[in-house]
Amino acid sequence: MSKGLRIITMVLGGFVVISFLHLWLNIGVEKLSWLSTDVRQETFKVGFLPVTCHLTCPVTDWINTNTTGKGFYEPVRFSGWPEIKESIVSGHLPATFLLAPLAMVLRQQGVPIKIVYLGHRDGTAIMVHKDSKIRNFNDLRGKTLAVPNRFSNQYLIVYKGLRDQGMTTADIKIVEMPPPDMPAALFSKSVDAITSGEPFMGQTEIEGYGRVLYQAKQLWPNFISCVLVIQEKMIREHPEQVQRMVDGIAKSGQWLDTSQENRMDAAEVVAKKYYNQNPKLLRYVLSQPPDRVTYTNLSLAKKDFEQIEGLAREVGILKAPIAFEEYADPRFSEKAQTVSLNKKGGQ
Amino acid sequence: MKLRNLSFLLPFLVAAGLVTAWHFTVVASGSTIFPKPVQVLTGIVELARHGVLFKYVVASLFRISAGFLLALAIGIPFGLLLGWFGLAFRAFNPVIQSLRPISPIAWIPVAILWFGVSDLAPIFLIFLASLFPVVTSTIAAVQNIQSDYLRAARNFGVGGLSLFRKVIFPAALPQIITGIRIALGVAWLVVVAAEMIAVNSGLGYLIIDARNAGMRYDLVVAGMLLIGLIGLILDFLVRRLEQMDEVRWGGRRA
């Protein structure tokens, strides 16, 4: 059996080498919680998708890393909504950017989370193929439209647009599709219209086959798609961290909306370091036009959410009414407001 | 000698023919989205230049080997026991057979719920996918051992643990290794699905990330090719194992 033993030793030796390489190249020894306990207490994971609705997550981290040398949270990029949802439901993820109606539905189903802040305003469009004759909702009758998720505000905006034209969701065929797949689906004309957060809508314009049917603000002024959601355990145990994050988002949002140069800087860094996209995409959607997506006016307003709740109930994704206080914790948002007001007063 | 040269060259010729056909099909279709072979090659070079190629290969190899070795460590002893003890086989077989056809993709939500966003969730998926081929082939291997071997062993007074070690395991080994080959293939098969979970490295992740990045279908195909190539190398290594004398013991039949 000496040869057998040799093979087993070789296989296990190979595994040790691969594990060591993986640890060294991909995990980073300093991130191992059992090697340095303080890291785990100081930073927490925040989930995001590579979309402009979540842009303040990497921008805040980037600003923190630049000003203090290291960020106080770790942005974790996901590839789709189901994975984010499962990570927050299981409690493995303390904080994440999430679709507002999805956050409400999860809260109603007993997941201990609270919405603490908005991530953006606007930043969604409904796109059709540039060859198509679709000019309004009426032309969409009988056509196929892709939305990111049934619990998304993109679904609600389509519902609202149809309702305002005296139509219903039964008049068009609505399918769910991960936003990264939408441009190719529109290009191949396998769907007639698509809607999701940027940059996937702008991408179809850059690549020359997409046309804007509606920008979100035409249908729903001050549109909200994604919100910052925190586990209640995290709020109880580390309220100062939550406040720090909300303050950071408020400030980086203001910074983003201060000048076009800031936006182009952010596009460059976020595309390369966080989203792994071509910077051209983010530069385009952050400037064409500049108010395509905005990052100010992010505090939690009860009436915004009551509107979302009302639409979610009409369309049937919320089965019963839910109180604002139950799914939202506006304390951090209120404090962030005073921070920025004080700062303005001092200037 | 000539025949040998030909059999060595033939696989390369087939591969080259397919790549050429791929190139001209894309050119003929006029597609601006599907990449040509040259674009895929440039994509791989770009990955190497950014230093991520090696990292991603290492990450996938780590997850594959961790899940796969775990499957071997649990699957082979478990299979030997079930193959030998008929009662245990009857007790466990229905459960094994009902878990076996479930796709690893269906296990993704469960893996996230149990293991969260870390390397553990993809390792679990790879473990699960490769466990069943190992278990079922080991069971079958033990059940198919020629009774001559067992009778001879009993006549010489071999029993208990040493029967397992000296007769059952070596006799079953060739078929177990076939199971290992299948399991290794399956492990690579699920790496894309396994790395859909929030990890940020690996060849499966490369494919999913390229979809997020807009028009980077060259990287999608690059990821596919790399997975295929490494799978080929690993299968070659396991086949070398199969051809060793110690291993062929059980396969030698009159």
pLDDT of residue B73: 93
Q: Given B33, B66, B201, which is nearest A26 (Cβ)?
A: B201
Question: Is B214 in Cβ contact with A77 (below 8 Å)?
Answer: no
pLDDT digits (tens, 9 = 90+) for B100-134: 888 888 888 888 778 877 788 899 999 999 999 99
d(CA A317, CA A204): 29
pLDDT of residue A42: 63
Tell me if chain B has a CB within 8 Å of the CB of A9.
Answer: no
pLDDT digits (tens, 9 = 90+) for B152-207: 888 887 777 788 778 888 888 888 888 888 898 888 888 888 887 767 788 888 88
Select the residue from A86, A188, A203 to test the B interface by mutation, using most B Cβ atoms within 10 A.
A86
More confident residue, B135 or A67: B135
pLDDT digits (tens, 9 = 90+) for B202-250: 888 888 888 766 667 888 899 999 999 998 888 888 888 777 766 655 4
A302-309, long-range: CB < 8 A, 24+ apart: A302/A328, A302/A330, A304/A222, A304/A224, A305/A100, A305/A104, A305/A115, A308/A100, A308/A101, A308/A104, A308/A153, A308/A156, A308/A224, A309/A104
pLDDT of residue B248: 59
pLDDT of residue B198: 60
Chain B: closest CA distance from residue A170 (Å): 30
d(CA B22, CA A314): 51
pLDDT of residue A340: 53
For residue B22, what pLDDT band results from cuts at 50, 70 and 90? very high
Query: Which residues are within 8 A (CB) of A290 and not within 5 positions of it... i.e. 6 or more apart?
Result: A260, A263
Select the residue from B63, B112, B126, B239 to test the A interface by mutation, using most A Cβ atoms within 10 A.
B112
Tell me if chain B has a CB within 8 Å of the CB of A2.
Answer: no
Q: How far apart are the first and last CA of chain A?
A: 80
C-alpha closest to that of A97 among A150, A67, A60, A145: A60
Tell me if chain B has a CB within 8 Å of the CB of A316.
Answer: no
Select the residue from A7, A9, A22 to test the B interface by mutation, using most B Cβ atoms within 10 A.
A22
The pTM of this model reads 0.74
pLDDT digits (tens, 9 = 90+) for A130-179: 888 888 888 888 888 999 888 888 888 899 888 888 888 888 888 888 88
Chain A: closest CA distance from residue B65 (Å): 7
Question: Is A25 in Cβ contact with B244 (below 8 Å)?
Answer: no
Question: Is A7 in Cβ contact with B58 (below 8 Å)?
Answer: no
Spans of chain A, pLDDT less than 50: 33-41, 341-347
Phi-psi region of B18 (alpha: psi -120 to 50; beta: other; left: phi over 0): alpha
Contact A77, A130 (CB under 8 A): no
Chain A residues within an 8 Å CB radius of B213? 275-278
Chain A: closest CA distance from residue B109 (Å): 6
